[in-house]
Amino acid sequence: MKIYDGGKIFIGIVIFLSVATSPFLFNMGKATARPDPKLDTPEIQKMEKKQCVEPKEFMKAEHMTLLNDWRDSVVREGNKVYIGLGGEVYNMSLQGTCMKCHSNKKKFCDECHKYVAVKPYCWDCHIPPKEN
Ligand code: HEC
Ligand code: HEC
Ligand code: HEC
């Protein structure tokens, strides 16, 4: 009788645990699938005020357009100076500016691009940062 009850309780616990943990496991799977671009580069860690050339939400949505504008400005107009967020002055350069801060291309740019399946052809010519 005692053993039988113990078995019932044991089965009860197993069922309870599997039900209680399944939504948790489900969410964990989702969390790892979503891109998680990393900002922990030496250059960004050094920054007192951690900001991009423009506000984060703008960068998220418009960095491709911004890069196009930078290229046109440099190549067509010969202007390399960009005034960004808070009056910060930048040299308009993919390698020399963006990739100086975001030197973790794989864990940053590629992390998002793989998720949305875009493969910018920029690296056919521009040299990506050296990474392990
Ligand atoms: C001076 C260092 C620095 C430079 C230069 C820089 N970034 Fe950033 N970038 C950052 C930091 C810091 C953040 C996070 C900003 C925040 O959290 O507000 C960021 C955020 C971003 C984001 C949004 C990431 C996300 O998680 O949504 C994108 C996209 C991005 N940068 C692309 C670029 C591109 C493209 C360039 C060149 C045009 C560039 N960055 C130049 C430091 C930099
Ligand atoms: C927060 C996510 C995210 C990060 C971080 C990010 N990108 Fe993107 N990028 C995107 C998305 C999404 C697209 C596609 C946008 C579209 O098709 O409208 C894209 C598109 C682009 C394109 C245009 C490619 C094409 O074929 O149309 C370029 C160029 C680009 N990203 C450069 C960069 C560079 C360089 C970095 C790293 C410094 C970077 N991105 C970081 C999300 C990101
Ligand atoms: C066929 C080779 C080639 C490809 C592909 C290419 N570029 Fe360039 N890019 C150049 C050359 C050459 C320059 C001129 C360099 C200079 O004048 O300093 C340049 C200049 C630039 C500049 C301004 C100066 C600098 O040093 O960054 C930006 C920004 C830029 N390209 C962004 C991009 C982006 C973003 C992509 C991908 C969507 C891309 N390029 C693809 C060859 C290329």
Q: Distances in Å between the alpha carbon of 108 and those of 36, 81, 102?
A: 8, 25, 7
What does the pLDDT average to over 99-117? 97
Half-sphere exposure at residue 70, Cβ-oriented, CA atoms within 13 angstroms? 20
Residue type, 62: E
Lowest mean pLDDT among 5-9, 31-35, 44-48, 120-124: 5-9
The total number of residues shown for the chain amounts to 132
**Whose alpha carbon is nearest atom 6 of ligand 3?**
122
Is residue 102 a contact partner of residue 40, using CB atoms and an 8 Å limit?
Answer: no
Would the CB of 101 count as within 6 Å of ligand 2? no
